[in-house]
Structures are given as C-alpha cells and as structure tokens.
C-alpha cells in the first residue's frame, strides 16, 4: 500500500519504545528520536531507526517522508522534578508538534496522533483533598500546569485546527502518569512509580532502611501501566474519536499508599522521611473514563499492584547489574 509507513517520533523514549515494539510486524515502522541510538530504551533492528532533532523543521520533513501515519510522542519532559524546574524547555516541545504537523500536511499523511497529558487540565480543579475525576471538558477554562501543561494544551488545539483546515485525521490522548519497565528510573527525569521502586531497592540493598518522599505523601494520583497505554494509543489512533480523550487508570492512591505497595513487593518496611520543599505537583488527579468506555468499550484495567510488580522486577535487575545506582537513595 502507498503511504503504509508508520512513523513513531520519540521512539527512543519509554512509551515510544514500547509502541514501536507493538507495531513491528503490522506495517513498516520508522523510529525517530533525538538521543544517540545507544541511549534509546529499546531498539528494534526491524525498524528504520533515525537520530533526528525534531525541533528542526527539515528533520520533521525527513521523518514524515513516505508516511501514512505519525505518532508524535516526542517531547522534552520528565517527572515533576524536571517539569517544575524546566518550564521553558518543556514549552519548546511545541516546535516538534508544529513542524511535524506541517510536514504531515505537506507529505499527505493520513493520520496523526499527539500524546497529550493530564497536565493540560485546569489546576484549580485539582486542589481538593476529595479528588473528583477529571472529565475531558475540565481542560477549560484553560489553566494548565505552567510550562509543560500549556504546551500540551496549545498543541492539542493545533491538531484540531490542522484537522479542520487541512483534513488530516488527528487524534489526541491525554496520558495519566504512565509507568512500567524499560523507562527512566534515575537521573532526575523519572516519575513517581519508578523513583519509588529505585529508592526502595536502594534502601534494601544498601541496608539504609529509610526512604525520602517528596511532599507529605498525601498527594493522590492514578497510574497507568504501559501495556494499557500502548493498547489505548493504537485504539484511539484507529478510532473516529476527534476530541482529546483521557487515557488513564481510575485506580486512585496516595503516594504513601504507592510506597506501601512497593514495600510489600520488596518484602521490606522502611522509615519514611518527608521533604515538604520538594516538587509535588497538584494535590490530586484522577481520570474520568466515561468517554473512553462509551466510545471504545474499554478502559485501562491493569491493577496498580500487578503493574508495579513488573516494574519493580525490571528496575531491580538494572540496579543489581549497575551497582553504582544503589547509592541513589
């Protein structure tokens, strides 16, 4: 088929690597990332693997050549510690989506997926201890998380208008805290599930018997296992859903409860030290899955305990292999 090629942008990252793995064998795949190939989390020789900075227009044109479908997962981002300290860098990711959409229009791409985030939601709706699940309409009136959230919300609108004006079938999913193996777990860009796994493993292996928790541990979140994210991403891309839609678990826990789950998996109990000055994000966030259940007849359903067991095992393997990481408590 003409234009049968699938392009995954951000393929060297956590979600992108899992997506390429799922797509291999379906259609030809081109995997693109800014990082050197030896720094990609997963590399598949069956794909055409390109190292390109997609903030540059000419590289987006190269990436889109011959493509029928583009998944844009490329962004300069990380966990809350990175997001709150690098607002300008996060916003510069708008260049990627802008140039990719232009290249998609010029190259005749049929379908375009943009990975948005729950950070696009109005922060005023996420301050109450009694967390009300976020519906897709709660992104407006606009007041997203500064930097990263604004970039996501703006890029969502750009996808909408490229569909309206140029006929590209764009799809947007708002990811809610995706976690799992083959991702960042140290270095400052990791998210809470991987960071807590690392801290518990380091404490257990080093014998320190304590763990530092950002904030007071009462922050509430839902966490989405990578397998559910990948299934939902493909289903949304192939669907007729033209509005941004939540892609997240609705199993809500506090950070303290997440730590307890990891302790139980590790077979240990640690003393908790709280850092109220550390980045902690909004007080509470959960996904309202009414729309995805109605339109896809499905929602993310991997339990947090099951997903964290797989994540913990993978992080443990990496840390035992690289013993220097044990010091990163």
Beta bridge partners of 252: 222
The residues annotated as belonging to the active site are: 148
Taking residues 251-267, report their average pLDDT. Answer: 97
Instruction: Judge if pTM exceeds 0.75.
Output: yes
Cα 252 to the center of its chain, rounded Å = 17
Per-residue pLDDT, 282: 77
Residue indicated by tokens 């993310």: 300
Per-residue pLDDT, 67: 97
**In whole angstroms, what is the distance from residue 268 CA to residue 221 CA?**
23
Per-residue pLDDT, 284: 87
Taking residues 188-213, report their average pLDDT. Answer: 92
- Provide the pairing of β-strand 220-222 with 252-254: antiparallel
Per-residue pLDDT, 323: 67
The pLDDT of residue 146 is above 60: yes
Taking residues 274-278, report their average pLDDT. Answer: 88
**In whole angstroms, what is the distance from residue 177 CA to residue 117 CA?**
8
> Which structural domains are found in the chain, ordered by start?
5-176+225-247 (3.40.50.720), 179-222+251-327 (3.90.25.10)
pLDDT in tens, 81-93: 777 778 998 899 9
The pLDDT of residue 325 is above 70: no
Per-residue pLDDT, 324: 54
Per-residue pLDDT, 90: 87
- Per the CB < 8 A criterion, the answer to whether 81 and 278 are in contact is yes
Per-residue pLDDT, 12: 97
């Amino acid at each position: 088929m003409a234009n049968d090629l699938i392009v995954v942008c951000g393929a060297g990252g956590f979600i992108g690597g899992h997506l390429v793995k799922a797509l291999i064998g379906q259609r030809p795949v081109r995997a693109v990332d800014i990082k050197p190939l030896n720094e990609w989390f997963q590399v598949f020789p069956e794909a055409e693997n390109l190292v390109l900075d997609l903030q540059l227009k000419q590289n987006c044109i190269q990436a889109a050549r011959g493509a029928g479908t583009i998944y844009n997962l490329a962004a300069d981002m990380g966990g809350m510690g990175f997001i709150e300290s690098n607002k300008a860098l996060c916003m510069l990711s708008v260049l990627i989506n802008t140039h990719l959409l232009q290249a998609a229009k010029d190259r005749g791409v049929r379908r375009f997926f943009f990975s948005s985030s729950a950070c696009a939601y109005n922060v005023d709706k996420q301050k109450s201890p009694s967390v009300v699940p976020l519906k897709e309409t709660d992104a407006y009136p606009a007041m997203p998380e500064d930097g990263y959230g604004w970039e996501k919300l703006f890029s969502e609108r750009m996808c909408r208008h490229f569909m309206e004006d140029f006929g590209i079938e764009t799809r947007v999913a708002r990811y809610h805290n995706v976690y799992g193996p083959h991702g960042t777990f140290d270095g400052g860009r990791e998210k809470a599930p991987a960071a807590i796994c690392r801290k518990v493993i380091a404490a257990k292996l080093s014998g320190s018997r304590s763990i530092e928790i950002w904030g007071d541990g009462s922050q509430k979140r839902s966490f989405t296992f990578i397998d559910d994210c990948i299934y939902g991403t493909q289903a949304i891309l192939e669907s007729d859903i033209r509005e941004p839609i939540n892609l997240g678990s609705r199993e809500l826990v506090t950070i303290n409860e997440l730590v307890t789950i990891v302790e139980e998996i590790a077979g240990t109990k640690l003393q908790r030290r709280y850092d109220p000055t550390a980045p902690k994000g909004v007080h509470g966030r959960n996904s309202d899955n009414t729309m995805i259940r109605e339109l896809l007849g499905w929602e993310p359903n991997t339990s947090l305990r099951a997903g964290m067991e797989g994540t913990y095992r993978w992080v443990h393997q990496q840390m035992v292999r690289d013993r220097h990481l044990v010091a990163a408590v």
